[in-house]
Amino acid sequence: MIANNDRHYSRLSAVKQVSAVFALGCALAACGKKEDAAPAAPEQAAPNAAAPAASANNAVSAKVSALSVEQLREAARKAYAENRLYAPVEDNAVEYYLALREKAPADAVASSALTDLLPMTVIATEQSIGREDFSEAQRLSALIERADPQHPALARLKASIGAAQQAVTKRAEQEKLTAEEQARKQAELEKQRLAQQQQQQQQAAQQLATQQAAERQAATQRAAEQRAAEQRAAERAAAPAAAPERPAPAPAAPSAPAAAPSELRAVSTPAPRYPPDALRAGTSGEVQVEFTVGTDGSVTAARVVRANPPRVFDREAVNAVRKWRFQPVAAPVTTRRTIGFNPGG
């Protein structure tokens, strides 16, 4: 099995890969900005530079906060799946998970998701500053502060926003642009921001999905190997001692086939599917299942005897046992097996 720190290391590796993708996008955006962006007129640029800063208190809108715990959980899951990680406003995974964490502090899924999403939100904030989109930068930094007031990048981001706003104001006082040129710049800025956010959120979601799929596959493979080893050890322990040599009996007349053995010998025991919510939350546990094997070796009945934690892995454990196959037996045999679930394998 893999220890918790190894699983944490895998998550950090995934975040670093995503951060590298975002950093490349930021560099490309900065190059495009130098070639295409025009300086803003003082009467048009000043409002953007002096826009009231968003705060952590109003980072999550009242519309999102009004949703119930179940509505927030479903909306967050949908936004995450559709790559709406931190935008648009009032309909993104970060806001939903923040509201969910505040209403259900013990929800491990919300805390885990925010841990994965914050590095991307930090990079998106830096890119907004680079585009001189200060209202968006303030909104994103407010989300970061709401999620983690002690985040190491928070002070730097706020300082960068203030310095960039001052630079824009100073440049606006020195340059003159027509209203038509300023409107064109604003339209191009919005188009660039939307396109960049869509592309980067999709890339980030793909990186996370790939990492999570690899972790699930590795965990399933390790669990299958462990169960196979345990099964082989059990079969060796149950094998009867070698009988003393005896003279070979005289050939007997053909008779009816011997009855199938009564002890259970596994032929196929597929591993259970790991529930996605439990895997994301890092939840582990075990389920004891009682089942009956028919004379043909198939499982004819299965039920949960004991589960810890209850109702988390019950369904997947029973579904897996019903697919198990054993060598034929002389009469139906009822037995119990304990199935373990560990996100680290």
Distance, in Å, from the CA atom of 284 to the CA atom of 98, rounded to the nearest integer, reads 25
Residue 268's beta-bridge partner residues?
325
In this predicted structure, what is the pLDDT of residue 25? 46
User: Which whole-number Å values give the CA distances from 64 to 44, 248, 292, in the listed order?
Assistant: 32, 83, 49
Average pLDDT value over all residues in the chain: 82
Q: Which residue has the higher pLDDT, 260 or 183?
A: 183
Segment 39-60 mean pLDDT: 59
Predicted confidence band of residue 235 (pLDDT cuts 50, 70, 90): confident
pLDDT digits (tens, 9 = 90+) for 76-131: 999 999 999 999 999 999 999 999 999 999 999 999 999 999 999 999 999 999 99
pLDDT, residue 240, reads: 52
Please compute the mean of the pLDDT values over residues 322-343 and round it to a whole number.
Answer: 95
Task: Give the residue with greater pLDDT, 165 vs 8.
Answer: 165
pLDDT at 239: 63
Q: What's the count of helices (H) and strands (E) in the chain, helices before strands? A: 11, 5
Nearest to 342 by CA among 219, 255, 232: 219
Confidence of residue 233 (pLDDT cuts 50, 70, 90): confident
Q: What is the pLDDT of residue 267?
A: 94
What is the 8-class DSSP label of residue 269?
Answer: -
Q: Tally Cβ neighbours within 10 Å of residue 210.
A: 12
Q: Compare 118 and 259 and report the one with higher pLDDT.
A: 118
Q: What local confidence, expressed as pLDDT, does residue 52 receive?
A: 53
- Per-residue pLDDT reduced to its tens digit, 282-326: 999 999 999 999 999 999 999 999 999 999 999 999 999 999 999
Residue 153, classed as helix, strand or coil, is coil
Q: Is 290 exposed, middle or buried (0-12, 13-18, 19+ CB in 10 A)?
A: middle
Q: Can you tell me whether residue 340 is helix, strand or coil? A: strand
Asked if residue 274 lies in contact with residue 219, where contact means CB atoms within 8 angstroms, the answer is yes
Q: What is the band of 49 on the pLDDT scale with cuts at 50, 70, 90?
A: very low
Asked whether residue 158 carries a pLDDT value surpassing 90, the answer given is: yes
Q: Give residue 209's pLDDT band: very low, low, confident or very high (50, 70, 90).
A: confident
Query: Is 284 in contact with 341 (CB distance < 8 Å)?
Result: yes
Confidence label for 29 from pLDDT (cuts 50, 70 and 90) = very low
* R_g over Cα of the chain: 30
* pLDDT over threshold 60, residue 199: yes
Residues 6+ apart with CB under 8 A from 329: 260, 261, 262, 263, 264, 293, 294, 295, 297
